[in-house]
Amino acid sequence: MTRPIRVLVAKPGLDGHDRGAKVVAAALRDAGMEVIYTGLHQTPEMIATAAVQEDVDVVGLSILSGAHMTLFPRVRDLLVQAGRDDVLVTGGGIIPREDMETLQARGIGRLFGPGTSTQDLIAYIREWFAERERQDA
């Protein structure tokens, strides 16, 4: 049996709507993952620091403010600078398809829009983690 997947769920920036992030956090927890929710108004630096301190496998960002093209890459860059390029940065929010593709080309994982089933996110994280574990073996 492998260890539980550790996920940090964060709300970066000034967006004050966290209902979706809380739903995702609960679904991931119900799926057997260890979840840390950092709360509202987190800076990329706060998120990356928490991810390193908590030794997470995944950082999930919920962004509804339109700042996704800045916030996703900033968190990823900070994790890489901290020596944690093995952390999956994924998330969701109001993100146009073309921006999703651009972010994925820059090393961000799959991104999810409104109405996506939490089961899709859970399956994606499990598949990513299983692949990473195979590569590390």
Dist CA 7 CA 60 (whole Å): 7
Dist CA 90 CA 107 (whole Å): 10
pLDDT band for position 136 (50/70/90)? confident
Dihedral sign, CA of 125, 45, 106, 133? negative
- What confidence score (pLDDT) does residue 1 get? 52
Place of tokens 């991931």: 28
- What confidence score (pLDDT) does residue 42 get? 95
Q: What's the pTM?
A: 0.96
pLDDT in tens, 27-37: 999 999 999 99
Give me the phi and psi of 9, to 5 degrees please.
Answer: -105, 130
Two tokens at 3? 């260890």
According to CATH, what is the number of the domain 6-136? Answer: 3.40.50.280
pLDDT in tens, 39-48: 999 999 999 9
pLDDT in tens, 84-131: 999 999 999 999 999 999 999 999 999 999 999 999 999 999 999 999
What does the mean pLDDT of the chain come to? 95
